[in-house]
Amino acid sequence: MKQSPDDFQLVRAFQSGDEKAFEELIKRYQRQVANIIYLTLGNRHAVEDLTQEVFIRAFRSLLRFEFDASFYSWLYRITVNLCIDEIRRRRIKRTFSLEFFSEERMSEGEKPSKKIPTPADALLESEKKDIVASALQKLRPPHRSVLILREYEDLTYEEIAQTLRISVQAVKSRIFRAREEMRTLLKEYFQERT
Amino acid sequence: MKHQDIQNRLSEYIDGELAGPVLSAVEAHLSTCSECVGIVSQFRNIRAGIKERADVELSGSFSANALRSIRLQIDESGNWTPAEFIARRTVLALSIVVLLLVGLTSFNFQEEEISVERYLRGEASDSAESQILFNGDEISKDDVLMAAVSKQ
Ligand SMILES: [Zn+2]
């Protein structure tokens, strides 16, 4: 369990008007929030800004926190929701720029690469850990989030269910499917290793 | 349990979510099936790959900067800080109490009006007021005093 006994005390202090308590909560969870964002979105671009945005959203709703879940599962829900918003926003932006500005972009020599590196390509051009990260990006966002909370944050099925407000059964099946998909995506990589 | 059934539980197995006879069955199967051992190893590699990739470190001043930005945004948007929120919540609670008191008082007035209407319609009542209104005699000081005391 990651629940520090002091999280609730800090939240109570914040609710009584102590803003420094909130800064302590930021210090405690900034790294985890940043990495969940990074793993979910797949690049470092704007990770710091988005991490800040998570804490802004948290600040705005922490007064209504009811102590019915751990602070971190509440915070990770905000993080996952923000990532989903961001994925949607980037998808719209990408669709828009591809449809309307593709020619200008090409002329400027910054045509976005539609090709996501295959495991074999990635193995040549980057470290092995990048292969896993790029496979992760191919998962559907709901499967991706569940796997990240499990593998990176070591949350239990129960905690993930609480964080994402889904059933434990749904968590179990999403993790299983995410892993099976990852195995298929990383087939070549695993074959090369054996 | 068959190989395929075991394979479908390997994900739960590496997460430590299995117990009892299912766990024993999976463990027994793993000692004989190299394919399932391979899958467990691949799952563990995926986990290690994700953990290794999570290497973002924010600067030491991130929390102070974030709080400063929050403060700035709140000043601009007119949102409330916790202290302001508590103050406003107290004012709101007091307002509700005052409104409730006003409401209760006006409810009493209403009751009084209803009794007066009943007297005017000539409905029978054994209250002191009705005795004053309908006895036809002159009203004495005692009658008024009695009416005032028996009210409620
Ligand atoms: Zn097997």
A18, A150, A193 member nearest B15 (Cβ): A150
Range of the domain at A39: 7-90
Indicate if A108 and A61 belong to the same structural domain. no
Which residue among A28, A63, A90 closes a domain?
A: A90
pLDDT exceeds 50 at position A68: yes
**Predicted confidence (pLDDT) per residue in A142-168, tens digit:** 999 999 999 999 999 999 999 999 999
Question: How many folded domains does chain A comprise?
Answer: 2
In this structure, what CATH number is given to the domain that contains residue A183?
1.10.10.10
Indicate yes or no: CB of A133 within 8 angstroms of CB of B79: no
Whether residue A109 is contained in a domain is answered as: yes
Indicate if A107 and A86 belong to the same structural domain. no
pLDDT at A194: 63
Which residue among A61, A90, A119 closes a domain?
A: A90
pLDDT at B138: 55
B88, two tokens: 């406003």
Indicate if A85 and A136 belong to the same structural domain. no
Nearest CA in chain A to B64: A23
* Average confidence score pLDDT of chain B: 78
pLDDT exceeds 80 at position A182: yes
Indicate if A65 and A124 belong to the same structural domain. no
Indicate if A68 and A107 belong to the same structural domain. no
Indicate if A110 and A47 belong to the same structural domain. no
Tell the residue number behind the tokens 């394979």, with chain if given. B7
Mutate to test the interface with A, among B62, B68, B92 (most CBs of A within 10 A): B62
pLDDT at A117: 53
A136, two tokens: 């992760």
Per the rule left: phi > 0, alpha: psi between -120 and 50, beta: everything else, B108 is: alpha
Which pLDDT band, with edges at 50, 70 and 90, does A17 fall under?
very high
In this structure, what CATH number is given to the domain that contains residue A16?
1.10.1740.10
Distance CA A164, CA B30 (A): 32
Distance CA B5, CA B122 (A): 88
Whether residue A97 is contained in a domain is answered as: no
**Predicted confidence (pLDDT) per residue in B93-132, tens digit:** 888 888 888 888 776 655 555 554 555 565 554 554 444 4
Q: Where are the beta strands (DSSP E) in chain A?
A: none
Whether residue A127 is contained in a domain is answered as: yes
Indicate if A73 and A119 belong to the same structural domain. no
* Averaged pLDDT for residues B28-57: 95
For chain A, the helix, strand and coil percentages under 3-state DSSP, each to the nearest 5: 75, 0, 25
Nearest CA in chain A to B58: A31
Whether residue A185 is contained in a domain is answered as: yes
Indicate if A107 and A163 belong to the same structural domain. yes
pLDDT exceeds 90 at position A107: no
pLDDT exceeds 80 at position B137: no
Whether residue A96 is contained in a domain is answered as: no
B78 touches chain A (CB under 8 A): no
Q: Which helix (H) or strand (E) holds B43?
A: helix B34-53
What's the CA-to-centroid distance between B23 and ligand 1, angstroms?
Answer: 14
Which residue among A90, A115, A135 closes a domain?
A: A90
* Averaged pLDDT for residues A91-107: 57
Roughly what angle, to the nearest 10 degrees, separates helices B62-77 and A19-41? 100
A18 touches chain B (CB under 8 A): yes
Indicate if A108 and A185 belong to the same structural domain. yes
Indicate if A81 and A137 belong to the same structural domain. no
Which pLDDT band, with edges at 50, 70 and 90, does B147 fall under?
low
In degrees and rounded to multiples of 5, residue A186 shows phi and psi of -100, 15
Whether residue A52 is contained in a domain is answered as: yes
Indicate if A81 and A27 belong to the same structural domain. yes
B54, B66, B69 member nearest A152 (Cβ): B54
What's the CA-to-centroid distance between A41 and ligand 1, angstroms?
Answer: 35
Least confident of A32-36, B17-21, B137-141: B137-141
Distance from CA of B22 to the nearest CA of A (A): 16
ipTM: 0.80
Indicate if A112 and A40 belong to the same structural domain. no
Per the rule left: phi > 0, alpha: psi between -120 and 50, beta: everything else, B122 is: left
What's the CA-to-centroid distance between B14 and ligand 1, angstroms?
Answer: 15
In sequence order, what are the residues at sequence separation of 6 or more whose Cβ sits closer than 8 angstroms to the Cβ of residue A117? A125, A126, A130, A134
Nearest CA in chain B to A24: B63
Tell the residue number behind the tokens 């790029």, with chain if given. A134
